[in-house]
Structure 1
Amino acid sequence: MAFSLFGIGKDHSGDTKNKVVEIKVDQIIPNRYQPRKVFDQDAIRKLAQTIDEHGLLQPIVVREYESAKYEIIAGERRYRAVKLLNWDTVPAIVEKMSDKETASLALIENLQRSQLSSVEEAQAYRQLMDLNHLTQAALAKGMGKSQSFVANKLRLLKLIKPVQTAILDHRISERHGRAMLDLDEKQQREMLMRVVNERLTVRQTEDEVARTLGRPLPSELAKQRAEKKRQELADLEGMPAEEPTTEETVESSKQAQPKKKKTSKRRKKSATSKQSAKATDARLALNTIKKSIKLATDNGFTITTHEKDDDDTYQLVIEIPKKQ
């Protein structure tokens, strides 16, 4: 198994490297730098059932940190599953790695393959930066993320431990935590109790944080923006048709015409006005979509767009890679 990020795992040699060997389970310990703090026991039991039925298809990866003692580099879920099955030995690949490499590799392996919580992910990024003396930009490049994405994750570490733990335990969401970032420690504790006990939504939490800090309520600001948008659309719908621009046109409009014809002209003008409003509405819709795309890219997503404007339609093709 090769790991190339940050040069980890390169130029190591040894007789057992990349060879699968059987190692006693009681000689193996979990990785001390494992970023995952909470393991889903139901998922481990299901994995154990699969391994019991089909065998262990992928060996775990370990290193020998002392004579006949091994530390897991990759595969702790598989290790926990075979322990549930009471296996005496487990297939493993032995790698020669330093403490720093072992720690970095465990963090990278989990970031790439596991669904870590947002706090665990932030902690893993911080540890990788500290271990390898990396800047946010260098880490983001190595992990294939945007710098803003990494920076937003790291901000979660500014939350007090009880709030971080609540996110880890899924008692509150990452967005609840982000809403509390501007509060001091005491305020965070009080807000956490309210969120959990009163089961506040994210928007309610944002409003309560704003009240605490003496700021405008996000819900009220959202209503104002929505009302402004509705008013803009209403104004567009009510725009008058263009007035006549020549004396002859004005004069002819004054001449008596059959009511039926006048009604037809008015209807035509009204239709023209509505078509203009609809065209403007289409541009507003396009701009709204573009703002949503910008919001997503600002939060670390890689998105590619292709835009085309022809006579009848706006075409906007959005490409979002599944692996971000």
Structure 2
Amino acid sequence: MNSFSALQARENAAGQFEQVVVQRQIDDLPPGDLLIRVQYSSLNYKDALSASGNRGVTKNFPHTPGIDAAGVVEASAVPEFSVGDEVIVTGYDLGMNTSGGFGQYIRIPAAWALKRPQGLSLREAMILGTAGLTAALCVDKLEQAGVTPGAGPILVTGASGGVGSVAVALLNQLGYSVTAATGKVEQAGLLKILGAQEVIGRSQLLEGSERPLLKERWGGAVDCVGGDILVNLLKSLRYGASAACCGLTAGVALNGSVLPFILRGVNLLGVDSVELPLVVKASMWDKLSLQWKLNLEPLVTEVSLAQLPEAMARILAGQQVGRVLVSLG
């Protein structure tokens, strides 16, 4: 079989972007060391940006998005991988300017692929996906910065989204007291199932925006939204506490002061999961398959390629909850 199904984002005659399921040819895939038959992918905010024509993410169209993929090696040009190996691919250029995981086949450099850890199925790996990997990296950064369960409540912003929901579950499993902040307070029940001790509305985090410092409250934070919410949470970190920053849905500007840093010694920790060295990704996936393994089934919505455009519209509108698993089997 040389043809396969893929979601394609393309610009129509009216200059608008649409997403349609098409038949593509394996021969049309970019060159690479590994041909992988994709069984599962997952939907991330960046995928929706790519599919809607955001040229800061994807330069050329038509294009198949999907920054995550898990599947089976069908052909290998390198000794490190054999036909039949089950692999995970996240980040690098997959789904950005390289044909991505929303197609039944991808062809990639071997340096982008990891063999599936024994403790995770391909399905479980894509329930996590880039969002789960990012959440784990945030928690790992907080631990490296000395944040312990005794440090006080840990704030997770954007808690009902992909990264935030996994972070809530992981922090709870590790013994932290978690406060989940969300614009979807109707999801408080789900967040408490995941382990949040407290759920607060997003608007509470914007109170006192005019003040340079706020009362010390948080022992640490995972921030998935950025913007003024990140600025305000920095003002309310306890002395010496740290916040891991990985998102921008509330804005990219950081309009704050240096006072939290120079009067309370707080730390702002940047987290990237895209260009991270493969060895670091591998160590995080190993953790997620063993001591940090989570039951995330309450978070999962499973969709087909044909259902993806509707799911993308939801995530762009800020309405998506939890993780969207894409089945390509």
TM-score (norm 1): 0.28
Higher relative contact order (CA 8 A, sep 6+): 2
TM-score (norm 2): 0.28
Q: Which has the higher helix share?
A: 1
